[in-house]
């Protein structure tokens, strides 16, 4: 799938009412294992240093049995402001070239013509989705920041494959530094707004036959269950 990270700003919305969707159907459940944090949650983690003289020491992980619910047929019951994610349908004009897009993970990296056109398309699409959210005004500013193309690692060296660790892509404490990193001189304008939000957009480049994408209902995870994992890079901390 292609992963697009964007920053969107809204005026201060009303507090949403959280609820879990109730499916009027026979629920299909898949039993599998996922990698969770395997250390002592009461002990703060030492930072993971990326790009240093020594190989990075990542947080310990353990395989844990989980039950994943197949939401096929009830996708419209999940809403961004209630559950932290939302399924939406969109036909891209760049379907044929998406698998070939070069990853962009640097704010100063130039945009080629195709990538820029794809970003413009995603900007328009996200604006449409956000404008339809209940209790949210129309977004006043949207910036598409980067993208990552993840493919199967089987037989493809040097590519970014699926991540099997249960994780939060964008944490609240790292949101402001990320905005500063990506927006540079434009960051103060964004941070002065009543509210801003980092949104990851995932889409399949072709039919998925293995390692399907999974997300969690934000209302089912208490704050105490999150583990802060600090990362130190040569040019930033997150």
Residue 237 belongs to some domain of the structure: no
Residue 153 belongs to some domain of the structure: yes
Residue 22 belongs to some domain of the structure: no
Residue 238 belongs to some domain of the structure: no
Average model confidence (pLDDT) for the chain?
82
How confident is the model over 38-58, as pLDDT tens digits? 999 899 888 999 988 999 888
Residue 133 belongs to some domain of the structure: yes
Confidence category of residue 14, pLDDT binned at 50, 70, 90: very low
Record the tokens describing residue 167, joined without a space. Answer: 């994780």
Residue 24 belongs to some domain of the structure: no
Q: Summarize the confidence of residues 197-220 as an average pLDDT.
A: 87
How confident is the model over 214-236, as pLDDT tens digits? 999 989 999 889 998 888 888 77
Residue 215 belongs to some domain of the structure: yes
User: Domains in the chain: how many in total?
Assistant: 1
Q: Summarize the confidence of residues 106-114 as an average pLDDT.
A: 77
Place of tokens 């698998």: 99
Chain centroid offset of residue 18 CA? 20
Domain carrying residue 147: 2-15+29-232
Confidence category of residue 68, pLDDT binned at 50, 70, 90: very high
What SS3 class is residue 197?
A: strand
Residue 194 and residue 24 in contact, taking contact as beta carbons nearer than 8 Å: no
């Amino acid at each position: 799938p292609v992963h697009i990270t964007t920053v969107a700003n809204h005026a201060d919305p009303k507090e949403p009412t959280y609820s879990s969707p109730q499916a009027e159907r026979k629920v299909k459940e898949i039993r599998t294992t996922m990698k969770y944090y395997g250390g002592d949650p009461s002990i703060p983690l030492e930072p993971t240093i990326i790009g240093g003289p020594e190989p990075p020491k990542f947080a310990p992980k353990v395989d844990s049995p989980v039950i994943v619910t197949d939401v096929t047929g009830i996708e419209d019951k999940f809403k961004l402001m209630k559950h932290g994610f939302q399924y939406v349908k969109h036909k891209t004009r760049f379907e044929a070239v998406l698998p070939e897009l070069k990853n962009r993970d640097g704010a100063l990296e130039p945009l080629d013509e195709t990538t820029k056109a794809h970003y413009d398309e995603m900007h328009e699409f996200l604006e449409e989705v956000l404008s339809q959210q209940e209790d949210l005004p129309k977004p006043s500013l949207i910036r598409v920041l980067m993208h990552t193309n993840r493919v199967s690692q089987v037989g493809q060296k040097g590519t970014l494959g699926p991540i099997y660790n249960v994780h939060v892509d964008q944490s609240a404490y790292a949101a402001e530094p990320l905005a500063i990193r990506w927006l540079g001189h434009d960051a103060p304008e964004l941070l002065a707004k009543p509210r801003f939000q980092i949104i990851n957009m995932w889409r399949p480049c072709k039919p998925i036959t293995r390692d399907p994408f999974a997300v969690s209902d934000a209302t089912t995870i208490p704050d105490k269950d999150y583990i802060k994992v600090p990362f130190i890079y040569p040019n930033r901390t997150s």
